A and B are shown apart, each in its own frame.
Chain A
Amino acid sequence: MKIKAVYTIFLFVALLILYVLSAAFTNFLKTEESVTAKLVTKETVFKAGNEIQLTFELNAQVFTELLLHYSYGTVLISSDLLDKPKFSIPEFIVNKKGMVSYTLFYESKNIYQSQFFIEANTTTPVQLESYIGPPSIIAGGNDYTMHVVVPTDTYDNPLPDSTAVILKHQFLDIVNERQVSSKDMLGWEQIFSYEESGQLLLSSQVKETYSKEHAIKVFPAFPEDFTISYMRKHRYADGNQVINFKTSIVNDQYGNSISDGTMVNFIVKNSSGKLLHTQGTIINGSAVAKMLHPDHEDTWEVKAYVYGMGESDKLSLSFAKVLEDFDVNFGKGNREIIVGPLKSFMGQLIPDGAMVKLDIYRGNKKIETKSESSSRGMVRFLLEEGFFGAGNYSFKIGSMGVHKEYDNIVIQ
């Protein structure tokens, strides 16, 4: 029994070796045959979207495959019928414009190679892709925006060069139309701004297809010089009322009034040469800036600027003194100083909040400044014991441009 088993195994191994050898030789022999192919299909140029079939004629009935290489990639397809080398090109290739090269393979061997072309299908309705930019430009004819139109067929293939593209735009009463021929897929135009500001609408047309509407903002150009005026409730320096400065309508060189929100700076030079500063933003062409009346007699020179671009004329105005003099009373061992009543131009009490400043000196040395605002025309200063020891003091009291000095006041 044992021997029998050994023979069986031996036989089995021998058969296996025989099979392997014969299989190898068969393959080797097969490659000796050669297969050739001939293209039957005559057309080499197709319209996008139309069906494309490539038929070949082979000298042997074998299984072949077709490798397609097109602008989006490479794909391998097999023939429609197993025995006939007839290939339908897939839809996703058929719809795209461009060159398609192909290779017919029989068992990894290239047996035919060529290419065909697909062109845009002008018989389908035109589609438009249109772009504009920038979406805002400046009036005056130097700045421009660009309108680009890409006419395509239904399959999104750009139409051939020299397709007529009509570019239109509207601005105020002008409606303009211009025809250009597309080149390198697109038709385009630069639209320069007009002298007026406003809104530019653009559209385009190719054959019977109209584009959507695009809008471009045309902003005014830079401001020119302008004038300013002021408005105030009275001419007194009461430190309480508000004065308004107003510009004339600020225009650019083409007469457009400047964009809303534009900053206008008002520089005020007072009689001591200091520069005060207010600002306004333009609404409907003019800007308003506000300031508080000074609290002392003063003369202001006002000039407004849009920095770097335009400026106003110079305006001069003066504020009259509101206060001629005031009383000062000392009490409680000279520790209490009562200033007032502070009277305004008609003799009325000055509105609450007028500032009174008290400079306290001891032996020519300023030791403190106290400021208090008035209430019902009066101001009261208190020199607390903890902070001001008994002794000899001098005081300078100032309010609304009036200054008074009191020397050698003894505080207990």
Chain B
Amino acid sequence: MDKTTNKYLISALLIGVIFHGITIFFTLESTYDALIHLFFGNHYADSWFDPWDYSWYTGFTVMGYPPLVHQSIALLSYVGGLKFGMFTVAIIAIILFITGVYRFALVLTSNRQVAGYAALFGVFSSAFAETLHIFGQLPSIIGLSVLMHALPEIYLWLKIGKYKYLLNSLSLLAVTVTSHHVTPIFGMVFFIFPLIGTVLMDVSREKAGSYKEIRFLLFLKTFLSLFRRIVVFGIGSLLLIIICILPYWINTKNNPITQVPIPHGSRDNFLEVTSSGLVFFLIPWGILLFVMPYIWYRFFSKRYLFFGLSITLLTILGTGGTTPFPRMMLGESAFNILTLDRFTLWGSMMALPMFGEFAYRFVEGDLKQKIREKYGGIVHKILGGLLMTGVVFMTFFTMNLGYFRPSQPQKIKMLPILNFLSQDQHDKWRFLPLGFGDQMAWLSAQTKAMTVDGNYHSARRLPELTTRAVERLENSKYRGIEGIGSLQQFLTVPEKYNLKYVFSNDKFYDPILYFCGWQRLRQLENGIMVWEKLNVPPVSTILPKEEVATFQKLMWGLIPIGTVLIAFIINIQLIWIHGLKSRNKTFPVYFKFGIAYNRFNGTVVKSLSIWSVFLIISIGYGSYLFYIKNEKQLSPVNVAKAYYDALDFKEFVRAHSYLDPYSDKTLDQYMLEVSVTDGLLSSYSKLDQIKVHVVAQTDSTAKTQVFTRWITALEAIDKVFYHELVRRNNKWFLKPRAYDLDIPPDQLLAENTTKFYNHGRRRITSEQTYHEDVLKQPVLEVLSAKIIENNNQYMIIGEVQNIDNVPADVVITGTLYDRESKELAKYNVKHQMKHKLIPKEITSFRIDFEGIAWVNHEERKPETFDPDQFTAIDFKETPNTFNLQCAGNVATVDLYKGVVINDLTIQNQQIHGVLFNSGLQEVTIPMLLVSYYNENEELIWVDHQYISEGIRQQRKQYFTHNLMDLSEVCEIDKDMSAVFVNGLSNTVISQKVVPNRISDHRLVPLIPVQGKGFAYVKLEINTYIGAPN
């Protein structure tokens, strides 16, 4: 036996560890999963044996994910901290992977040089690079690598039958099981079954003399003769899968995943969603695509037949929703739970040995000979250059994908947030990060404060989350109605979750926070805005927890690391010494079955070249289509789309470049106009859909209608824009639009306003409430309140006045009861009120009783994205009476009252009006609160409307409000005896505080209207100021 060190493997290890080991420091933290594993690692570091974690989702169990990798991070974190643990585990994963590929290739090809090539290309495998540097799936990599390490041992057990090999293989399999549960289960099907087939083939060949002579009967006989070994191994591995992570299976049985599946790109149709096709098909296969014919040719030779079937299955399953087969093969439910990218990963891993073989034959084997003989040395060199260029390009592209298309927000400095949470007992409440990406896991790992959100969606427990396909609340804007809908529920009823603080890293969410009654506390030095909600009780000191049996805790805490220790002791000489420099006197038995590389099949060369040409043409055509579709100024449609795309991403210089260069709109002028526009549409929206309709087109001019749909945290806005376009030098340009010419009357203006400041605690003390500093809750008076019914939906509406002398933040909770006084529903006012009332100010309010969407799985989900959609509670009984709890707390911010109604006309069931901002703050989002009254001047409905443009100081803003048809509305109950303010009876407050109320004043602001079902309306204005100064 050749005793020299395998230089290819050594190079592969060196290059791999240096290359990946250095780059992970720049990529791993911004991957999707790595920080989640880090968080789990932190859990084990804190409480090794207790599987319950309170940090996320109001508590969850970590028994939902095999613990080996997390526990390894935890162990290493005792040495150098959590991140040290994570990076060390990642480097171990890299080493395991490279050696694993080597050993897998060795058992398949029986050639150390070929295996060395495979290891070398394994380093640059785009699938591996993507899994590590983009997805950060450490457990998956470790699981797969260890599985590949186990394959030679399994082969030897089946072939020779020595118990030593059985022990070796099972010990390695145990490590796989404890690091990733899916890998061994599917690995059994896709890797081990074909390996068993290969062993049977090899044994049959020994009997028959050559592979050609193997017939089915012989194969069956061989199978029966090896049956005992196969069964022993099968039962052994099954027991391992069950026992090593028994608590995981028990937990899965007790808490089955009942949640709505979360959409995943790997299930898309890759031809429709090209970005998913890129990430989940093209990148993982990468350069392997070009040698596909060779790989399939080799795998479908008789020895590897079963691997051929396996890789075919893997390839098909990896195509996701592109073909109907994966759905048919897996069944509807498995298809929706599994992420299919793992099949592509396994497929490309399986192809690596054959790719190594191809490379070997190309670089120094018979293929080289053949090409040189046929086409000459230059062609061979050129082809070699192309192949290497392809490999280098794919690796570069994959590694830097995160740089070109960031999947995560910029790295956030956590220290200011951590300091904030640990100051002044802020960690006694739950918090919610918004726009943090997967960095929320890193935040959670560092603080003892809890969040209602979380980053491991299989562990979610609240029905508000599990019934919706929302991965996290934190990124809910990407999940449409389901996302924003879930988020709105948490923001409207934060008391239920003890949620007091929101850390916002994305101003998209600011409007919904404001209109749900939250207030800005301050901006931390890392730019994160802290929002708080008043009147939220702290988390109770004792929280519910699901206890598990001690034996489970012990198993969970001890077995995984135990498997590593055992495997290490048993296999140490195999992984290190056997891998690098064989100590064995003889070759392993599988070395007998290698083929001689002396006659490269001509047909394969031909099909390889045809396939490559076909691929190159496809890629070229695809790129051409991409160019046509995306070249910005090739057609009126493209330029209009490009313009709105630039506006959406706030790239105003680019947007300006699409404007007619011969118009007098200079960049300076354009930027100035942009800088003065503000509002829901221009500052807080995301372009969701755009359709361009060309109304008329000549060679040089065109007119288009652009139908746009913008998503904001509050509602979806549909807006149509009209554009004229011109063509200059074969490029289309938009003609600039007119801007607001209005000149405000005053250059400099002065105004006196009242400002408030609340010290909090005047004495620096950690006492919970220093009684001298407890302010009295402002007294409110509910002027009217009732249950109404409209279209089978029940609401509580009413009016409330702040009758105190200080501004109040108002929280109103309504409860509906049926005839037997059984509670039916409880909810807070969301945004149909002014949450901040200055002294003597009145607001109307409406409580909608929101249910949890799609609890019933048969209900069809809307296809489109609509944050404004509302799921009413399905009442089993008719509400009969109600209870209203109003709480006032002293408010000191968001008290701007500068917007006035300057003009009104009412015609055709529409109110046209002019708002004027008379004050000193720029109003970003004005909201109209419209109350409807019947002919007896009784309140019957409250409606709201957001105005999509902001109002600058001393400027006007026009609005149109469509009046409603309220002929169906009926009053259910208006008994106000169960209305309470700060826990006191509203009736008593009315009698005692304002006994001489002038009741006629109620009628003063009512505007008479000939309406359907109503006779008067009242307009109130609530304003969100994005940047108070």
Q: Are the C-beta atoms of B838 and A263 separated by less than 8 Å?
A: yes
Q: Are the C-beta atoms of B840 and A262 separated by less than 8 Å?
A: yes
Residue of A nearest to B995 (CB): A142
Q: Are the C-beta atoms of A289 and B743 separated by less than 8 Å?
A: no
B901 within 8 A of A: yes
A394 within 8 A of B: no
Smallest CB–CB gap between A226 and chain B, Å?
13
A196 cross-chain contacts in B, Cβ below 8 A: none
Q: Are the C-beta atoms of B771 and A276 separated by less than 8 Å?
A: no
A240 within 8 A of B: yes
Smallest CB–CB gap between B1009 and chain A, Å?
10
Q: Are the C-beta atoms of B840 and A135 separated by less than 8 Å?
A: no
A68 cross-chain contacts in B, Cβ below 8 A: none
Q: Give bound CA distance, A273 to B1016, whole Å.
A: 13
B753 within 8 A of A: yes
When each residue 262-277 of chain A gets 1 if its CB lies under 8 Å from chain B and 0 otherwise, what string results?
1101010000111111
Q: Are the C-beta atoms of A262 and B839 separated by less than 8 Å?
A: yes
Smallest CB–CB gap between B952 and chain A, Å?
12
Q: Are the C-beta atoms of A351 and B1004 separated by less than 8 Å?
A: no
Q: Give bound CA distance, A386 to B697, whole Å.
A: 9
A49 within 8 A of B: no
Q: Are the C-beta atoms of B900 and A265 separated by less than 8 Å?
A: no
Q: Are the C-beta atoms of A373 and B900 separated by less than 8 Å?
A: no
- Helix, strand, loop or mixed for chain A's interface? strand
A265 cross-chain contacts in B, Cβ below 8 A: 1004-1005
Q: Are the C-beta atoms of B743 and A240 separated by less than 8 Å?
A: yes
Q: Give bound CA distance, A325 to B94, whole Å.
A: 84
Given A261-B838, A291-B902, A353-B740, A309 and B745 contact (CB-CB distance below 8 Å): no
Residue of B nearest to A371 (CB): B958
Q: Are the C-beta atoms of B901 and A277 separated by less than 8 Å?
A: yes
B994 within 8 A of A: yes
Q: Are the C-beta atoms of B902 and A292 separated by less than 8 Å?
A: yes
Interface residues on A, range: 35 or more
For window 243-299 of A, CB contacts with B under 8 Å fall at: 259-263, 265, 267, 272-283, 288-292, 294-295
Q: Are the C-beta atoms of A263 and B841 separated by less than 8 Å?
A: yes
Q: Are the C-beta atoms of B774 and A135 separated by less than 8 Å?
A: yes
When each residue 519-554 of chain B gets 1 if its CB lies under 8 Å from chain A and 0 otherwise, what string results?
000000000000000000000000000000000000
Q: Are the C-beta atoms of A281 and B897 separated by less than 8 Å?
A: yes
8 Å CB contact of A274 from B695, B751, B776, B905: B905
For window 131-187 of A, CB contacts with B under 8 Å fall at: 131, 134-136, 138
Q: Could you give 14 example pairs across A and B, Cβ below 8 Å?
A: A136-B806, A219-B804, A241-B745, A261-B806, A261-B839, A263-B840, A275-B1007, A278-B900, A291-B916, A292-B914, A307-B840, A311-B998, A375-B741, A384-B724
Given A262-B838, A291-B918, A351-B743, A387 and B703 contact (CB-CB distance below 8 Å): yes
A385 within 8 A of B: yes
Q: Are the C-beta atoms of B998 and A353 separated by less than 8 Å?
A: no
Q: Give bound CA distance, A135 to B759, whole Å.
A: 15
Q: Are the C-beta atoms of B900 and A260 separated by less than 8 Å?
A: no
B98 within 8 A of A: no
Residue of A nearest to B1006 (CB): A275
A338 within 8 A of B: no
8 Å CB contact of B742 from A220, A305, A353: A353
A84 within 8 A of B: no
B968 within 8 A of A: no
Q: Give bound CA distance, A208 to B774, whole Å.
A: 29
Given A308-B801, A308-B997, A386-B703, A352 and B741 contact (CB-CB distance below 8 Å): yes
A267 cross-chain contacts in B, Cβ below 8 A: 1004-1005
Q: Are the C-beta atoms of A135 and B839 separated by less than 8 Å?
A: no
B967 within 8 A of A: no
When each residue 820-858 of chain B gets 1 if its CB lies under 8 Å from chain A and 0 otherwise, what string results?
000000000000000000111110000000000000000
Q: Give bound CA distance, A242 to B994, whole Å.
A: 35
Q: Give bound CA distance, A134 to B1006, whole Å.
A: 37
Given A259-B805, A261-B754, A307-B801, A281 and B838 contact (CB-CB distance below 8 Å): yes
When each residue 746-762 of chain B gets 1 if its CB lies under 8 Å from chain A and 0 otherwise, what string results?
10000111101000000
Q: Give bound CA distance, A341 to B396, whole Å.
A: 65
Q: Are the C-beta atoms of A294 and B903 separated by less than 8 Å?
A: yes
B914 cross-chain contacts in A, Cβ below 8 A: 292
Q: Are the C-beta atoms of B746 and A281 separated by less than 8 Å?
A: no
B904 cross-chain contacts in A, Cβ below 8 A: 274-276
B484 within 8 A of A: no
B900 cross-chain contacts in A, Cβ below 8 A: 276-279, 289-291
Number of B positions contacting A (CB below 8 A): 63
Given contacts A259-B805, A262-B805, A279-B897, 16 further A-B contacts (CB under 8 A): A261-B754, A261-B805, A261-B895, A263-B841, A263-B897, A274-B903, A277-B901, A281-B754, A290-B918, A291-B900, A305-B1001, A305-B1004, A307-B842, A307-B1002, A352-B742, A384-B703
For window 793-814 of B, CB contacts with A under 8 Å fall at: 801, 803-807
Q: Give bound CA distance, A265 to B1005, whole Å.
A: 9
A303 cross-chain contacts in B, Cβ below 8 A: 1004
Q: Are the C-beta atoms of A242 and B801 separated by less than 8 Å?
A: no
B906 within 8 A of A: yes
Smallest CB–CB gap between B291 and chain A, Å?
55
Smallest CB–CB gap between A346 and chain B, Å?
16
A-B pairs, top 7 by smallest CB distance, nearest first, are: A353-B742, A290-B918, A278-B900, A386-B696, A219-B805, A386-B703, A259-B805
Q: Give bound CA distance, A385 to B697, whole Å.
A: 11
For window 997-1029 of B, CB contacts with A under 8 Å fall at: 997-999, 1001-1002, 1004-1008, 1019
Q: Give bound CA distance, A223 to B839, whole Å.
A: 12
8 Å CB contact of B1005 from A214, A277, A292, A310: A277
Given A274-B1007, A292-B956, A308-B998, A372 and B771 contact (CB-CB distance below 8 Å): no
Given A131-B771, A278-B901, A283 and B954 contact (CB-CB distance below 8 Å): no
Smallest CB–CB gap between B816 and chain A, Å?
28
A306 within 8 A of B: yes
Q: Give bound CA distance, A342 to B277, whole Å.
A: 61
B767 within 8 A of A: no
Q: Give bound CA distance, A290 to B1002, whole Å.
A: 23
A236 cross-chain contacts in B, Cβ below 8 A: none
B906 cross-chain contacts in A, Cβ below 8 A: 274
B775 within 8 A of A: yes
Smallest CB–CB gap between B683 and chain A, Å?
23
Q: Are the C-beta atoms of A277 and B805 separated by less than 8 Å?
A: no
Q: Are the C-beta atoms of B903 and A307 separated by less than 8 Å?
A: no
Interface centre among A281, A307, A352 (most CB of B within 10 A): A307
B754 cross-chain contacts in A, Cβ below 8 A: 260-261, 281-283
